[in-house]
Structure 1
Amino acid sequence: MPTIHRRRSPFRSRTLWRTTLPALMFLAFSGVSYAQVKLQLINPPGSQVMLTSGKKTLRFEVLSPARLRAARMTVVVYSYDSDGKAVHTPLASYEKTIGSMDSGKAIDVDVAIPRSGLFRVDATLKLSDGEMLDKTTSTIAVVTKRDEIGPSDFGVGTHFAQRVIPPASVLLPLVKQAGFSWIRDDLYWAAIEKKPGVFKFPQSYDAYLALCKQLGISTVIVLGGGNADAYPTLFPKSDFPFSSDARARFAAYVDAVVARYGDATVAAPYGGAVSHWEVWNEPDFSKISYAAYLSLLWETFGAIKDVDPNASVISCGGGGSGGGPGGDCVVGLLEEGGLNDQTGFSVHPYMSPNTPEKGYKTVDAPIDAVSIPTVWPYLKDFAADRVKADGRPLQVWVTEMGWPVNPKEPGQDEAMQAANLARSFLLSRRYGTVRVLFWYDFVDDGTDPYNIEHNFGLLHYDLTPKPAFVAASVLTSTVGKRPWVKALIDSDNVKAYQYGNDDPVIVGWTADGKQHDAVVTLPPGKYIQRDWQGVDTPLPISAQALHWQVGSIPRYLIPERR
């Protein structure tokens, strides 16, 4: 089978997160002659997501090698349209005259954000004669305040194991605000046992898991990574624990981790914070046999269950996709007799740059394409037919799936990322296969626009929001926990689905990147149309047939509540 189109493993790429980068960075363009003058926004990370509209104070800093003479700052606010594109006509413009000042002085500009949605802010600094010194751009989002945790099938990948900035107190409230009820992250063996037999847990691990528990966010924790630093003789060429001695050491690490975070009787604030464990991330079965992986899975399963009999143990780590639907890993494990050594298995069905509806074609695979409408039903039947000794079928997890923003690929901009995110979660619920779908990932891993690995996030590296963050928040607030009920339209290029029966929400979108007139039959009455930004428009329906204009990013029809 051909190789699946997916990104490299986060663990294999972990040197990316070791690079020292500023905690707050914004895109800036400087004229060559004034390259030493820098204008930057210095609002605290995460503060560009607002829970109410109204006044927003933007704080800028000007860095200059010499005292700056009189200048003028202009701040222009732009809105976004229903297709996720920034509108060219300014929503508002603000000017501030700056007298002579020293480098590093803060400048405050108050702007008005009129409603929910996403807004782009462009700031320019010019001399009094009009010469440009520098400019910078950022985004602001207004989303509905969320008190309850989001839907149980909405998850997102985070990187607290690789990045200690931003702290949990900043990042996790944003995760909850976007509507995700799950995070997936790692607890690396080498970070916990730096000396043989001595287990020390980084404070950042404790802080994240304690706050997850406090906020009601569930966690899937990946157990994995070799430990050549502590045990160099056990890992001469590979980080995978092949020998029985290496597996025993790995099981001891698992014991320590689960005892700290998985045991609900532990008094610490993070005790019982984790009850779902994934064994290794994307194991490479061209180098690791299924028998070797199953040996590790068996050791890990026993170690986890000894501490928490009710814990879930997820096999495969998303690996072994091999161009098919992702089931080849679990097939290999079942052939080795591993049915009962797991709660379920995970896949990472990356499809970029293709759409979630159509994916990409396969060769010599059980299904003809890797897409949600093909993979999900296939895996649902596969899991239902594999019943464990306890009478339960295998669970199916998608622990990574996402689309990067990629300027080198047509149609892979921020608007299309938002579209693919919303449509993936809507389609996933439509097929009722997956326990949780985890979007990869929450925050960009860097600032290089041409490095795909940097650009999977719903937030930029500085925690300013992308359209996908707003689209996720609106989707989870609007559809919520409603189950998929029926398709009003289910053609190749147009979808209109009903979620919920007594309190329905109709969701419509297109799969070909174009606008379409979707004809849907609904009872006459008063409806609200909501776009991806959460902007509501009254839409009375006097006849049963509604000609509804829909596009790439889903829109919602909600009967007016009486």
Structure 2
Amino acid sequence: MLGMRRDGGRWLGFVALALVLAGCGMSSASTAPELSPSPTVMPSPTLTATPAPTATPAATLTPFPTLTPVPTVSLGFLVGEVVTPTATVAPPATDATTQAPLGLPSHATLPGRVIPEPFGVNIHFTQPDPGEANLLAAAGFRFIRMDLFWHTIEREIPGRYDFSAYDTLVEVMAARNIRIVFILDYGNDLYGGGNAHHFDEGRAAFARFAAAAARHYRGKGIVWEIWNEPNLEHFWHGPPDPAYYNRVASEVIAAIRRVDPTALIIGPATAGFPWDYLQTLADLGLFNKLDAVSVHPYRFNEPESAWEDYARLRGILDRASPDRKIPIIAGEWGYSTVEGGPTEQEQAQYVARQALAHLAYDVDLSIWYDWRNDGEDPYNMEFNFGLVRRDLSPKAAYAAVKVLVETLRGYAFQRRIPLDGPTDFGLLFRNGERAALALWTNATPRTVSLPVPCNEVTVIEMSGKRSAVPVSEGQLTLRLDRAPRYVLLCDSETTLRLAVWRPLDSIHVLQSDGVGRVLVEVDNPFPSALQGELEVRANGKVVGQTWVQVRSGTSEKFSIPVELPGAQGQVVAASVEFITPDLLPLQSAAIWLHIPRDK
């Protein structure tokens, strides 16, 4: 919905989305053609409204297992003698967070899940106001997303391109180590106006424009996104047509690849999750030509509700590309502090929780909408999405992003630890020899106790307030509420051992018969070999297990064979347990097993 704000376009788009969310639907002109239903996902205990064009059956959600970890600091799972492991070592390069897009060098990849590398924000300028670029960089964002308007670059003479306004933006952001997602979008009066791409001449000219842009900015780390919300008539300038979008996008991809084979190209940047539209693009093979798939998960529900949609999208992508894990990008999503909507404090909670939840939902780039309020009217929804006000004064949401980044800078996401239920979140991070937690709930605030092998921890509130909190008899008592709290654990070998392993993904797509695998990476920075058993649990039973042993100073990926029969069409909440001889606490990870229906 980014881009056409001056004529109220984004407001119209959001109203259209609101109608879908409210169950009113959109006009037939803006609804994708109906196809046979794809594998479906069941709503969680908190129902998630999504902008799908048609209602489809949903799979059954099973709750996360409730664990009772044993608090202990015994170190017996380190062994002095190395024996031959019996585990199945996983094949290399299956993790979307570290794997380069097929055929591309590493410098052209998306970032890993190390804070703040995968965090970005949408902007609406090429010339920042005084101090604006520094303010944006100080929040910790590493990406911006901005339209590259065709009609402003190829203006007077066909084939003559003027990128000077955008050159300034590229230079300003590069000086602050911020990468850019440029949206290749919209029409051009030289070729028929807004409908240019609907005709052969205009479509060919649009591909030449895209190639000229890629040539001009080659080596600048630009991510190229093809169009914005083509599933909405307002932005596509005609009835949405996934087959025709595939034709436009395929020609653009080919044109860019000819001038820059290393370019990173994404799409389709759909409004919401229009399942028939996305499935059509998958069936036509477009996703195998892209380096990542981008969506705009707008909703009125809280950020955590999007997990079902990401699980379903992951199922579509894995079936379309079984040999390459296609990354998912949330290219545009925010909450407006319009009068009667979320308060500024609630917006602050949402921006922090959205960024954190995306790490746990296998989203490789999370771009907030919007950077700056577009106006002063408190009753205009479009005017109030910003992290800062129109005069650049920070809102509470800006401070929440800055605290998150400053607290967890350099920490890599390891796994989500199951707490008492699906509405409680405990994310474990590692930075070298240090470990930290991010904790919150999107349900009723309450007090919890966690087994933590420390005498004292440091707790940082979303506001930035820091306090030292004692741990009594191995239990940390902490209040969980809707604002994330960050817990810096004590520096010790024991706490480091909690953070040396991770599932490579949180959402694992199995075959339709319930057979598949879960991939886990185990790192051993210790002087002795590390051993234990990895178990996958679902529906109250063990559905997969393997013994692992990792030599000192090495890191290995292990494949856990999984069998979960009788669950076709379901997304099952499960967990991975790392069972060591000493039963260290918090040695679990919340995951989902997606068993799609037969096509």
Q: 1:386 aligned to 2:320?
A: yes
Task: Look up the match of 2:2.
Answer: 10
Q: How far off is 1:312 after superposition?
A: 1.5
The alignment partner of 1:345 has SS state of strand
The alignment partner of 1:428 has SS state of helix
Task: Look up the match of 1:152.
Answer: 117
Write 1 or 2 for the structure with the bigger share of helix. Answer: 2
Q: How far off is 1:490 after superposition?
A: 4.9
Q: 1:189 aligned to 2:136?
A: no
Q: How far off is 1:202 after superposition?
A: 5.4
Provide the C-alpha distance between the structure 2 equivalents of 1:290 and 1:318, rounded to a whole number of angstroms.
Answer: 11
Q: How far off is 1:198 after superposition?
A: 5.1
- 1:165–1:498: structure 2 CA closer, same or farther, 3 Å change rule? closer
Q: Return the structure number with greater relative CO, CA threshold 8 A, min gap 6.
A: 2
Task: Look up the match of 2:198.
Answer: 242
Provide the C-alpha distance between the structure 1 equivalents of 2:258 and 2:374, rounded to a whole number of angstroms.
Answer: 36
Task: Look up the match of 2:251.
Answer: 299
Task: Look up the match of 1:494.
Answer: 424
Provide the C-alpha distance between the structure 2 equivalents of 1:461 and 1:490, rounded to a whole number of angstroms.
Answer: 41
Letter in 2 for 1:302: A
Q: 1:442 aligned to 2:371?
A: yes
Q: 1:428 aligns with which of 355, 358, 383?
A: 358
Q: 1:344 aligned to 2:344?
A: no
Task: Look up the match of 2:266.
Answer: 314
Q: How far off is 1:305 after superposition?
A: 0.8
Q: 1:288 aligned to 2:245?
A: no
8 A contact 2:441–2:482 mirrored in 1: yes
Provide the C-alpha distance between the structure 2 equivalents of 1:382 and 1:482, rounded to a whole number of angstroms.
Answer: 27
Q: 2:129 aligns with which of 149, 158, 166?
A: 166
Letter in 1 for 2:116: P
Q: How does 1:348-497 map to 2 (within 5 A)?
A: 348-352=296-300, 354-357=301-304, 371-387=305-321, 391-409=323-341, 412-431=342-361, 433-480=362-409, 481-497=411-427
Q: TM-score, normalised by structure 1?
A: 0.64
Q: 1:329 aligns with which of 233, 254, 277?
A: 277
Q: How does 1:129-144 map to 2 (within 5 A)?
A: none
Provide the C-alpha distance between the structure 2 equivalents of 1:13 and 1:211, rounded to a whole number of angstroms.
Answer: 23
- 1:17–1:469: structure 2 CA closer, same or farther, 3 Å change rule? farther
Provide the C-alpha distance between the structure 2 equivalents of 1:339 and 1:376, rounded to a whole number of angstroms.
Answer: 15
Provide the C-alpha distance between the structure 2 equivalents of 1:203 and 1:490, rounded to a whole number of angstroms.
Answer: 55
Q: How far off is 1:494 after superposition?
A: 3.1
Q: How far off is 1:531 after superposition?
A: 0.9
Q: 1:549 aligns with which of 475, 479, 495?
A: 479
Q: 2:141 aligns with which of 139, 163, 180?
A: 180
Q: How far off is 1:405 after superposition?
A: 0.8
Letter in 2 for 1:182: F
Q: How far off is 1:421 after superposition?
A: 0.8
**Structure 1 consecutive aligned stretches of length 4 or more whose deviation exceeds 4 Å:** none
Task: Look up the match of 2:97.
Answer: none
The alignment partner of 1:14 has SS state of helix
Q: How does 1:38-53 map to 2 (within 5 A)?
A: none
- 1:435–1:199: structure 2 CA closer, same or farther, 3 Å change rule? farther
8 A contact 2:413–2:427 mirrored in 1: no
Letter in 1 for 2:266: I
Q: 1:505 aligned to 2:452?
A: no
Unpaired stretches in structure 2, ≥5 consecutive residues: 11-113, 234-238, 493-599
Deviations 1:189-231 (A, max 9, x none): 0111111325343543111111222222111110011012x23
Deviations 1:50-95 (A, max 9, x none): xxxxxxxxxxxxxxxxxxxxxxxxxxxxxxxxxxxxxxxxxxxxxx
- 1:339–1:489: structure 2 CA closer, same or farther, 3 Å change rule? closer
8 A contact 1:376–1:428 mirrored in 2: no
Q: How does 1:57-206 map to 2 (within 5 A)?
A: 151-161=116-126, 164-166=127-129, 170-197=131-158, 199-201=160-162, 203-206=164-167
Deviations 1:468-510 (A, max 9, x none): 1111111122223321324152524433332228421122212
Query: Size of the alignment, in residue pairs?
Result: 382
8 A contact 1:160–1:205 mirrored in 2: no
Q: How does 1:209-220 map to 2 (within 5 A)?
A: 209-220=170-181
Q: Percent of counterpart pairs with the same letter?
A: 29
Provide the C-alpha distance between the structure 2 equivalents of 1:479 and 1:382, rounded to a whole number of angstroms.
Answer: 32
Task: Look up the match of 1:525.
Answer: 455
Q: How far off is 1:150 after superposition?
A: 5.4
8 A contact 1:210–1:273 mirrored in 2: no
* Bigger-Rg structure (1/2): 1
- 1:333–1:376: structure 2 CA closer, same or farther, 3 Å change rule? closer
CA RMSD of aligned residues (A): 2.4
- 1:356–1:273: structure 2 CA closer, same or farther, 3 Å change rule? closer
Letter in 2 for 1:254: A
- 1:285–1:408: structure 2 CA closer, same or farther, 3 Å change rule? closer
Task: Look up the match of 2:108.
Answer: none
